[in-house]
Amino acid sequence: MTELTLEQIDRDGALQEAMDNVAGDTRASFLRKSVLATGGLVGGGAVLGALATPARAATKGDVAILNFALVLEFLESSFYYSAVTVGALSGPAKTMGRVLYQHEQAHVNAIRGVLGSAAVKKPRFNFQGTTEDQDQFLATAQVLEDTGVGAYAGAAPAVKDNALLSAAVAIHSVEARHAAWVRHMLGNPPAPVAFDKPIKAADVLAAVRGTKFIKGF
């Protein structure tokens, strides 16, 4: 199994159904064809409370969306862990790598805690040397963070549970700060536009497959 597919995340079609039920053709089209800290984030009682909702109390669509988010968080946390442990980073890049790993792992822990036995298993990764060179690491981190921000924005309209939506928005804003931080490190504009467009899930999946980082589940 070498590619991330909709079927691996949405085994009973719940996510597809959720997309079809989103009000408005524009919103539904975002995901119609396929799916999608440190203490500052998870220390907040509101976020922890929202993410304490058990998966059995969530809709099938919400569970499927959370599982897709979990795969993306697995990818990011593993990427930063690899970069930090390989030892190719130095100075501000090393500091950033450590902080972002802590954040992404906190996201993983929180989402897994909600899903329980419904959580997908962690994939196997091969980062193709991108964590072994600081320049490649930074360039790849920008792509991952920009993609993550867009993916959360694309999924949000389909989330039914308001508490889970609030938690997802709390994660989304942190991912946006990550993207700005990486862009700043690269000398790119941290906020290049006034409005971000949600990324279609088909494009998210295509980007993830294109990295060839996921080698199986």
What pLDDT is attached to residue 51? 58
What pLDDT is attached to residue 36? 32
What pLDDT is attached to residue 4? 45
Buried b (16+ CB within 10 A) or exposed e, 112-126: bebbeebbbeebebe
CA 160 from centroid of its chain's CA atoms: 18
What the block records as the tokens of 211 is: 């990295």
Cβ proximity of 151 and 204 under 8 Å = yes
Amino acid at 118: A
What pLDDT is attached to residue 12? 52
What the block records as the tokens of 173 is: 């804003």
What the block records as the tokens of 136 is: 């490649």
38-42 — which CB contacts under 8 Å span 24+ positions? Answer: 38/99, 38/102, 38/103, 38/106, 41/103, 41/106, 41/107, 41/170, 41/171, 41/174, 42/106, 42/109, 42/110
Angle 85-108-12 from CA coordinates, rounded to 5°: 130
Torsion of CA 102, 103, 104, 106, to 10 degrees: 80
Per-residue confidence in pLDDT tens, the chain, 217 aa: 344 444 554 455 544 454 444 333 333 333 333 233 223 333 334 444 455 555 555 688 888 888 888 999 999 999 999 999 999 999 999 999 999 999 999 999 999 988 888 898 998 999 999 999 999 999 999 999 999 999 999 888 888 888 888 888 899 999 999 999 999 999 999 999 998 888 877 778 778 888 889 887 6
Tally the C-alpha atoms within 13 A of residue 93's C-alpha that lie toward its C-beta.
22
Cα 46 from Cα 200, distance rounded (Å) = 29
What the block records as the tokens of 33 is: 């064809």
Tally the C-alpha atoms within 13 A of residue 5's C-alpha that lie toward its C-beta.
8
Q: What is the DSSP letter of 132?
A: S
What the block records as the tokens of 203 is: 């494009």
What pLDDT is attached to residue 45? 40
Q: Does the pTM of the predicted model rise above 0.75? A: yes
DSSP string, 179-212: HHHHHHHHTS-SS--SSPPPPPHHHHHHHHHHHT
> What domains does the chain contain, in order, with CATH numbers?
6-216 (1.20.1260.10)
What pLDDT is attached to residue 26? 38
